[in-house]
């Protein structure tokens, strides 16, 4: 896993500017762009300069430590094809054999070189051959052409912005802001995108900065910029019987988990004590023993909060305390399990909170849950460079309450907005709220989103409604979770892999009838079938539990203090409604509802975000 960036301009000779650089030209610009991603790639950095293109890279070495240096070229002298790449291609061994049979010679063991040779062999069609999580750029000097590619589910991020005669791109927006032509600017449209919580892909909170769509490629040449989808969810008839379906689902999950175990660095798993992470942990622990012998032991990690066992109270998202289940699952599987316990001081520490906001490049987060995840990743990074996660199982197998709640199914709205309602939304200044018109924007976007959901001619209304819910979850809700995990893990130099995002698994599950998905009367029935025998019964039948939040009143009191200070920061009162925030500030800390607490979290994060980026506000 790495950070990539680059700059293409057909209006200037970037390479010549590099050689004449005196500290203010192309060399300093591309280096500044690379430097913004030092945390994503702590092991090495590199630059390639051509006449009209500059590519940069920061490396987190995971496979072929010595041989995977980037940017990578097709030849040492006068290269014609240059690649800067982030991610993992899990079928690179098979592709290497296939390409070698076609006459390609390899100098390294890295999957990076496989991607490079695949482009030489298949051009843009290489995307049809890759399995994994990735974002990369290929500069073809022969064609004077830039290709940007993002993986099918959007696990790896990729942003871009137009500049004079071309564009700049990067794994994070902050890389773009290091270029003199891209100024961090926020307008009404950007705030609408951020605070509507619809998780559109394409536009961002930043004016002029866009994401490459998941499953898409973008081409820049002298004819302009063109983007096209190479993968998306489609509706297909499901002809397998229940027994075959269960076997195929089990095989797809098993293959995805086991093939993602490869690394030349220490590897571990995130084990929360839920069904999703327990199944992944059990599969990779077994694979590790098959590869290295019965004595091989997988490390696993969970997060908890001080006094959580005594103070835990259920809410709309959480039904129980995770730690006992995680410990039981670790003992059952045979992992070396650790629980990272955090106290309110660490969660409130200004340096930790600022690091999280800087990593996100966004004012939208979930407060202590982001800070705790960031700190968890930091502790894991002391021992491991790669972690496997159970993220995306709820979207793939129907784990969220909205798949099973008649009220949510009947509502014509994005289902996650129904979980806490407006009590958890950012309280916007009345004048700004009138300008943004978020309710209308949500309604319009919802109609467009459900219209894009594929449908079989034979599909009944109830079945299609569940397909709509899954499509919205996979194409919107999941993407913000993947962004969160990527940004906070890479800020600690940790690579997190997500086996449930295997596109073949997603495709098959998306077209599996719902009667099979909840055949035992519970959520995630098909995954539970796979978990029998490899996970303890307590985990198999445990209700869905979301990522934990602290319940310590000292945290609530400290958050209220930070929010009071945030209201006095520049421009915060122009965006936030201090009257609504004030009500949450006046609530006794031990009685602060979760939704109201999240409002305070958003105000604190807004102040930190404004202070760090100092964006131009065009409202």
Buried b (16+ CB within 10 A) or exposed e, 555-590: bbebbbebbeebbeeebbeebbbeebbeebbebebe
268 has catalytic annotation = no
Measured at the CA of 361, the angle between CA 27 and CA 178, to 5 degrees, comes to 15
DSSP 203: B
Specify whether the CB–CB gap between 52 and 144 falls below 8 A.
yes
Number of other residues whose CB lies within 10 A of the CB of residue 23: 6
User: Strand, coil or helix: what is 592?
Assistant: coil
The token pair at 335 is 């992992």
Distance of alpha carbon 614 from alpha carbon 609, whole angstroms: 8
Measured at the CA of 434, the angle between CA 430 and CA 435, to 5 degrees, comes to 120
> Cα torsion at 354, 357, 360, 365 (round to 10°)?
140
Catalytic residue among 1, 2, 26, 155: 2
Residue 491's closest CA among 302, 353, 301? 353
Q: What are phi and psi of 229, to 5 degrees?
A: -80, 135
Residue 563's closest CA among 602, 604, 594, 591? 604
The token pair at 451 is 């219209």
- The strand pair at 2-9 and 44-49 is best described as unpaired
In order of 38, 45, 214, 356, 472, the CA distances from 204 in angstroms are: 23, 27, 14, 18, 18
Distance of alpha carbon 28 from alpha carbon 34, whole angstroms: 10
Distance of alpha carbon 480 from alpha carbon 486, whole angstroms: 10
The token pair at 21 is 């650089």
The token pair at 60 is 């987190």
List residues with catalytic annotation: 2
């Amino acid at each position: 896993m790495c950070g990539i960036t680059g700059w293409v301009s057909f209006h200037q000779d970037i390479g010549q500017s590099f050689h004449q650089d005196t500290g203010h030209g192309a060399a300093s610009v591309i280096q500044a762009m690379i430097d913004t991603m030092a945390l994503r790639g702590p092991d090495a950095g590199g630059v390639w300069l051509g006449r009209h293109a500059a590519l940069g890279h920061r490396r987190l070495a995971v496979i072929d430590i010595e041989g995977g240096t980037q940017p990578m070229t097709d030849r040492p002298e006068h290269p014609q094809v240059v690649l800067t790449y982030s991610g993992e291609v899990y079928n690179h061994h098979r592709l290497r054999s296939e390409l070698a049979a076609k006459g390609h010679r390899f100098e390294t063991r890295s999957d990076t070189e496989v991607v490079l040779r695949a482009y030489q062999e298949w051009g843009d069609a290489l995307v049809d051959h890759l399995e994994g999580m990735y974002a990369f750029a290929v500069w073809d000097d022969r064609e004077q052409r830039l290709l940007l590619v993002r993986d099918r589910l959007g696990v790896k991020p990729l942003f871009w912005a137009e500049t004079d005669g071309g564009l700049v791109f990067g794994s994070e927006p902050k890389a773009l802001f290091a270029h003199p032509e891209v100024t961090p600017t926020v307008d009404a449209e950007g705030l609408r995108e951020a605070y509507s919580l619809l998780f559109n892909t394409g536009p961002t909170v930043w004016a002029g900065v866009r994401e490459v769509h998941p499953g898409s490629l973008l081409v820049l040449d002298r004819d302009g910029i063109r983007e096209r989808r190479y993968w998306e969810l489609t509706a297909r008839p499901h002809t397998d019987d229940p027994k075959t379906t269960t076997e195929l689902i089990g095989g797809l999950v098993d293959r995805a988990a086991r093939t993602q175990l490869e690394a030349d660095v220490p590897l571990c798993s995130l084990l929360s004590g839920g069904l999703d992470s327990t199944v992944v942990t059990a599969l990779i622990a077994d694979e590790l023993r098959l590869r290295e012998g019965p004595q091989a032991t997988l490390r696993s990690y969970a997060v908890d909060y001080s006094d959580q066992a005594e103070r835990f109270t259920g809410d709309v998202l959480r039904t129980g305390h995770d730690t006992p289940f995680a410990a039981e699952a670790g003992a059952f599987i045979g992992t070396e399990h650790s629980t990272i316990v955090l106290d309110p001081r660490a969660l409130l520490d200004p340096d930790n909170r600022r690091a999280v906001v800087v990593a996100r490049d966004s004012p939208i987060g979930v407060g202590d849950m982001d800070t705790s995840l960031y700190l968890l990743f930091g502790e894991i990074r002391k021992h491991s460079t790669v972690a496997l996660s159970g993220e995306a199982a709820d979207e793939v197998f129907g784990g969220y309450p909205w798949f099973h709640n008649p009220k949510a199914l009947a509502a014509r709205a994005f289902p996650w907005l129904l979980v806490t309602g407006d009590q958890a939304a950012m309280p916007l200044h009345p004048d700004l709220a009138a300008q943004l018109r978020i309710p209308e924007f949500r309604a319009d976007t919802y109609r467009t989103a459900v219209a894009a959901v594929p449908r079989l001619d034979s599909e009944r209304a109830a079945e299609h409604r569940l397909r709509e819910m899954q499509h919205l979850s996979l194409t919107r809700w999941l993407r913000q979770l993947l962004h969160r995990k990527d940004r906070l893990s890479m800020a600690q130099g940790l690579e997190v892999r997500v086996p449930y995002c295997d596109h073949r698994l997603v495709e098959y599950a998306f077209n599996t009838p719902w009667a099979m998905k909840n055949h035992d009367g519970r959520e995630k029935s098909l995954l539970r079938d796979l978990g029998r025998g490899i996970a303890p019964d307590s985990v198999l039948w445990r209700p869905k539990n979301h990522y934990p939040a602290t319940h310590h009143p000292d945290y609530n009191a400290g958050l209220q203090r930070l929010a009071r200070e945030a209201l006095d920061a520049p421009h915060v009162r122009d965006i936030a409604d201090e009257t609504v925030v004030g009500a949450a500030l006046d609530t006794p800390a031990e009685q602060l509802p979760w939704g109201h607490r999240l409002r305070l979290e958003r105000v604190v994060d807004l102040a930190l975000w404004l202070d760090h980026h100092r964006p131009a506000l065009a409202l």
